[in-house]
Amino acid sequence: MKFDIEWLQKDEPEQRTDLFYCEGYQHSPVCIITGGSRKVLISCDGEMRIKYKYGGETFTLTDYWDLLEHDIKRDIDLNRLDYDNYIDNPWFAAYDITNGYDEDAGWETYEDIGFVHDNLDEMILRVKYYITEGKYND
């Protein structure tokens, strides 16, 4: 089956970790995958709050823009973060939007497929399986 991916960010990011898609405490649409007659939205949900110490100061990073401001631009840069200081974290979630999707209306317009992951490539593979087989594969 052929799949199309519509990126809802400016460009497809090189980063594959959920932290780079978090836009604060909210539902942040990442992309829509279409295959056959089915459409699935992948979004970054949840909250990111990371205590980051740099130059004798402590910062609280809550979104992608905070990461960029502190020169954390790639997945490998995440190694500088102390994972014991995560207050919470984001995750990728998948929603079936075959029957419509209204970003402003929110959750009422889509069906939660019921699986999450912290890596975008893995989430895309799971969504493609869902679209092909009509069910979730763990």
Predicted confidence (pLDDT) per residue in 124-137, tens digit: 999 999 999 876 66
Distances in whole angstroms, Cα of residue 59 to Cα of each of 2, 45, 62, 96, 124? 44, 22, 10, 37, 32
Residue 40 lies in a domain: yes
Residue 115 lies in a domain: yes
Residue 54: beta bridge partners? 57
Domain holding 75, by residue range, is 3-133
Q: Quote the CA–CA distance of 134 and 108 in Å, as a whole number.
A: 21
Residue 73 lies in a domain: yes
What pLDDT, in 10s, does the model give residues 73-127? Answer: 887 887 777 767 776 678 889 999 988 766 666 556 678 888 898 888 999 999 9
Residue 48 lies in a domain: yes
Residue 118 lies in a domain: yes
Residue 43 lies in a domain: yes
Question: pTM value?
Answer: 0.76
The total number of structural domains that make up the chain = 1
The two tokens of residue 113 are: 């497929």
Residue 138 lies in a domain: no
Q: What is the DSSP letter of 65?
A: H
Alpha-carbon 32 to chain mean position = 12
- What is the mean predicted confidence (pLDDT) over 37-51? 87
